[in-house]
Structure 1
Amino acid sequence: MAGYIWLLRLSCRIEIVAGGEYLEKVLADGRPVVPCAWHQRLVPSGLFLRSLVDRGMNIGFLISPSREGEFMSRVAHNHRVTPIRGSSSRSGREAMQALTAAVAEGISPMMYGDGPRGPARVFKTGAVILASRTGSPLLLVGAASSRFWQVNSWDSFQVPLPFCRFKIALGEPWPIGPLHDKHEAEAISEQLGRRLDALCETARNAPP
C-alpha cells in the first residue's frame, strides 16, 4: 500500500478543474477547514489534500486505533499527514472528540460523508456537527480519476491506476453555524450530498 501511494504521487497529475479560487482563499486565510468527499473517491481526494501540505495546509485523516490502524498511521507519517486516532464505527463520540481536538491544533481533518460503511453517497451528519462545533467551514472536494479499477464493495470503491489524471472540483467554503437539533443537521447533510454529487460530475465531465 505504501508503495502504491508513492507510485501514484510520482506518476499521477492533479488538476483543479473548478473552484480553484476557493482553494486560494482557504490557503490565504491559513485557518483549518473540514474537507469532505465521498468514500468511493478516497484515493484521488486524499492525494489532492496531501498535495496541499507543501502549500502549508496541515492535513489529518481519522485512523482506527486497531493494529491495522497503526500501520496506516506510519504510512500517514511517511507522507507528512497527521493521523487522528479514533473509530467512527465503534465510538462516534470518541472520534468526534479526537477530530475536534485536531481542528483546535490547526489540522484540517479529511471527512468522508458516507464512510466508513455507507450507505453509499448518503451524507451523514458527522462533518456538519464537527464544522458547527469548531467554526471551521466545510470544503467539498469532488474528485474523479481518468483511469481506475472499480472494486465490488458497498461504495464501488475506485482504485486509480498509475499515470492517470486526478480532476478536482471544489465547492465554496461552507460555514455551519449553531445547530438547534438533529433535523437541522440532517437537512444540511442532504444539501451537502447533492452538492458533492454535482462537484463529482463536474470533475468527471471536465475535458481532457
Structure 2
Amino acid sequence: MKLSRVFKKMIKSDGAHRLACWLIAQYIRLVFVTSRWSYVGFDKRDRHIEDGQTYLVLMWHNRIALTAYSWDCKKRPMAVLASGHRDGQLVSRTLSYFSVDSVIGSSAKGAVGATKTVVRKIKQGTAISISPDGPRGPRQRMKDGPIIIARLANARITFTTYSVKRRIILKSWDRFNVPLPFNKGVFIWSDQTDIPGFSTDLDKEELRQKLEDHLRELTDEADRMMGHAPIPPGAPLPADGAKA
C-alpha cells in the first residue's frame, strides 16, 4: 500500500487530522530554522506589506509548503484560499499554526461565497494567497479566478515562489515539493501587477496567459538557482479558459 494511502487512512478522524496538521507545522518550522535562505525581491514584498495597497499573492500549488514564511503576518494579515475537501483542510489547519487565516471554497463547491469572502477580506486589508492551478490542476496552468477576484476587489496581483537544494517531489498531479531540513533555499518575490480593464474574452485570456507565464518563469528561475531543471507544466487549459 502506498504511503499516501496509509496517511489518508490515518487522518480520517478529526483528532488524528489535527495531530497531523500540528506535526506538519513542526516539520515546516524545522525545515526553515535549520536551512540557509537567500531572499530575492523581499524589498518588494516589504513594500507590498507597508504601502496599504490590496493584494492577491499567487504561488503554484506545489510551492505552498513554505507559504507562512513568504509573508510577515505580524505586520499585515494573510489568508489562503483553500478547498473544502480533506486535503484543503490539511493546508488550512496547518497554516493556522503560523497565524495564517483561510477562506474555504473551490471551483466545485462554495465558489460564490468564497469569492465574496475573499473580496471582503481584501478590502479590509488582508492579503490573499491563491494557488491559481489548484485544487486539481492542470499543474502550473492559471485559471482566470484570480483575475476576476482582483477586478472585484480592485486589488493588485503579486507573485512569489521558493526552491531548495534538497527536496522530495511527490508523484501528485502538481509534483508537490517537500523541502528537507538542513538545506539551502531561496525565496523570490515579484513586483505587483495592476489588472487593467478588458472588453473581450480575448483580452482576458491574453492577460491570464501573461500572468501564468510570469509565475512559471519566476518558479523556473528559483529552481535553476538551486541547481534543478524546471518542473514542466501540465496540459494547457481548454481554449475557452477555465472557471475560477
Q: Which residue of the partner structure matches residue 46 of structure 2?
A: 24
Provide the secondary structure at the position in 2 that maps to 1:83: strand
State whether residues 140 and 171 of structure 1, in contact with CA within 8 Å, keep that contact through their aligned partners in structure 2: yes
In structure 2, relative to structure 1, the CA distance for the partners of 1:204 and 1:69 (3 Å cut) is closer
Worse-superposed segment, 14-23 or 62-71: 62-71
State whether residues 30 and 57 of structure 1, in contact with CA within 8 Å, keep that contact through their aligned partners in structure 2: no
In structure 2, relative to structure 1, the CA distance for the partners of 1:102 and 1:166 (3 Å cut) is farther
Q: Which residue of the partner structure matches residue 112 of structure 2?
A: 93
Deviation at 1:18, TM superposition (A): 2.4
Question: What is the distance in 1 between the residues matched to 2:31 and 2:115?
Answer: 35
Q: Which residue of the partner structure matches residue 34 of structure 1?
A: 56
Question: What is the distance in 2 between the residues matched to 1:8 and 1:64?
Answer: 21
Deviation at 1:81, TM superposition (A): 1.1
Gaps of 5+ in 2: 1-20, 228-244
Deviation at 1:80, TM superposition (A): 0.8
Deviation at 1:30, TM superposition (A): 3.1
Deviation at 1:144, TM superposition (A): 1.1
Q: Which residue of the partner structure matches residue 73 of structure 2?
A: 53
C-alpha deviations, 1:134-153, integer Å up to 9, x for none? Answer: 12211111321222111111
Computed over aligned residues only, the root mean square deviation of the Cα atoms, in angstroms, reads 2.4
Q: Which residue of the partner structure matches residue 201 of structure 1?
A: 220
Q: Which residue of the partner structure matches residue 135 of structure 1?
A: 154
Write out the 4+ residue segments of structure 1 that deviate beyond 4 Å after TM superposition. Answer: 65-74
203, 207, 219: which one pairs with 1:184?
Answer: 203
State whether residues 142 and 197 of structure 1, in contact with CA within 8 Å, keep that contact through their aligned partners in structure 2: no
Q: Return the index of the structure with the highest Cα Rg.
A: 2
C-alpha deviations, 1:108-153, integer Å up to 9, x for none? Answer: 1111111111111111111111112212211111321222111111
State whether residues 37 and 196 of structure 1, in contact with CA within 8 Å, keep that contact through their aligned partners in structure 2: yes
Counterpart AA for 1:37: M
* TM-score, reference length from structure 1: 0.85
Counterpart AA for 1:7: Y
In structure 2, relative to structure 1, the CA distance for the partners of 1:179 and 1:6 (3 Å cut) is farther
- Counting matched residue pairs gives 205
In structure 2, relative to structure 1, the CA distance for the partners of 1:74 and 1:184 (3 Å cut) is same
